[in-house]
Amino acid sequence: MEIAFFSTRKYDRQFFEQVNKDFDFELTFFEAHLNENTISLALDFEVICIFVNDRLSDDLIQKLSQGKTKIIALRCAGFNNVDLKSATEHNMKVVRVPAYSPNAVAEHVLAMLLTLYRYTHKAYNRVKEGNFSLVGMTGKEIFGKTVGIIGMGKIGKITANIFKGFGCRVLVSDPKLSSSDKHQTFEYVDNSTVFKEADIISLHCPLNEDTKYLVNEKTLKIMKDGVTIINTSRGGLINTMDVYKALKSGKVAFLGIDVYEEEEKLFFEDLSTEIIMDDLFMRLTTFPNVLITGHQGFFTERALENIATTTLQNIDDIQRSGSSSNEVTVD
């Protein structure tokens, strides 16, 4: 079976080629995103493997259906970038990697927060220049803070436990939790209570119609003055312009984002010799209390190996039995 990989980088090739020794698929790697300009590259392949910023709209799936493609293998957890209804209508199976290393993302939340609270990004540059002044770097402690976790799934759970270890009061909001999922360690509340009471809000829910712009002008108003927001989930959970204004007014004291609503034009590319046209993004990079990373929460050796193994196993399962436990359907 031939698989076409889109949006690939050196590290994807390295891990997939290694893991493929156990599967023996034919692998073709394209650096390009899958979009209307590159869809023709996909038509000859039974399987296409895509990543977070490849968008498979109904239009593109219709074009894809004129070729050989029968399996769309997402090498990521989120699947909001694929029109599932259209894929089903065109008899294409969609599989994903539900968890490759939730610890990686949870630990990245803390990496971002500790950087912001202790100005290690500033200290690194100052020390390199022989500037040992501490002015402007008065830190904050995580201990004793009230942390709000929105979305208590795989990543949210690990993050909540880490914060507990730091000595925080942890509020959890997730509409889908049953009573058996709830532990005394945490306080189970709704989103608006998180917004009202948390000093630190960490987003771990998926992006969908209900959660789009969860953080917006209205919800920011009810948050504590000086709130910290960390988003490692999906860019669209935050209305970036509203948060930008809240940063300027001081309502938001710190912002850590590993995801950005317009990230597909930026992330995973080396744009260091180009002029970046996204003024809002560039303005945010000038704020001392904002830390942006380019969707690297997942990016650890363990995660890359898990992604490659699960993706190829998903394809193998469909090929052998017609189904996979990691299939995503409209329901």
Binding site for ligand NAI (CB under 6 A): 77-78, 99, 102, 105, 150-156, 173-176, 191, 204-207, 210-211, 232-234, 258-259, 295, 297-298
Burial class (CB in 10 A: 0-12, 13-18, 19+), 22: exposed
Shortest spacing between CB 206 and ligand NAI, in angstroms: 4
C-alpha to C-alpha distance for 47 and 1, rounded to whole angstroms = 8
The one catalytic residue among 197, 261, 263, 264: 263
Shortest spacing between CB 202 and ligand NAI, in angstroms: 10
Nearer to ligand NAI, 67 or 78 (CB): 78
Contact 95, 314 (CB under 8 A): yes
Shortest spacing between CB 298 and ligand NAI, in angstroms: 3
Shortest spacing between CB 208 and ligand NAI, in angstroms: 7
The one catalytic residue among 295, 301, 302, 320: 295
Nearer to ligand NAI, 88 or 296 (CB): 296
Distances in whole angstroms, Cα of residue 239 to Cα of each of 137, 168, 242: 28, 27, 5
Nearer to ligand NAI, 54 or 258 (CB): 258
C-alpha to C-alpha distance for 101 and 266, rounded to whole angstroms = 24
- Examine the residue annotation and report whether 302 is marked as an active-site residue of this protein: no
The one catalytic residue among 234, 261, 264, 269: 234
Token representation of residue 61: 């799936």
User: How many other CB atoms sit within 10 Å of the CB of residue 165?
Assistant: 10
Q: Is 124 helix (H, G, I), strand (E, B) or coil?
A: helix
C-alpha to C-alpha distance for 176 and 204, rounded to whole angstroms = 13
Shortest spacing between CB 42 and ligand NAI, in angstroms: 23
Nearer to ligand NAI, 259 or 292 (CB): 259
Strands, sheet with 187-188, edge to edge from the N-terminal-most edge strand: 187-188, 169-173, 146-150, 200-203, 227-231, 252-257, 290-292
Nearer to ligand NAI, 92 or 106 (CB): 106
Nearer to ligand NAI, 39 or 290 (CB): 290
Shortest spacing between CB 140 and ligand NAI, in angstroms: 23
Measured in degrees and rounded to the nearest 5, phi and psi for residue 226 equal 80, 25
- Examine the residue annotation and report whether 263 is marked as an active-site residue of this protein: yes
H/E segment holding residue 48: strand 47-50
Q: Which residue is nearest to ligand NAI (CB)?
A: 153
Alpha helices (runs of H) in 65-138, residue ranges in sequence order: 84-89, 102-118, 120-128
Alpha helices (runs of H) in 166-296, residue ranges in sequence order: 191-197, 217-222, 240-249, 279-285
List, by residue number, the catalytic residues.
234, 263, 295
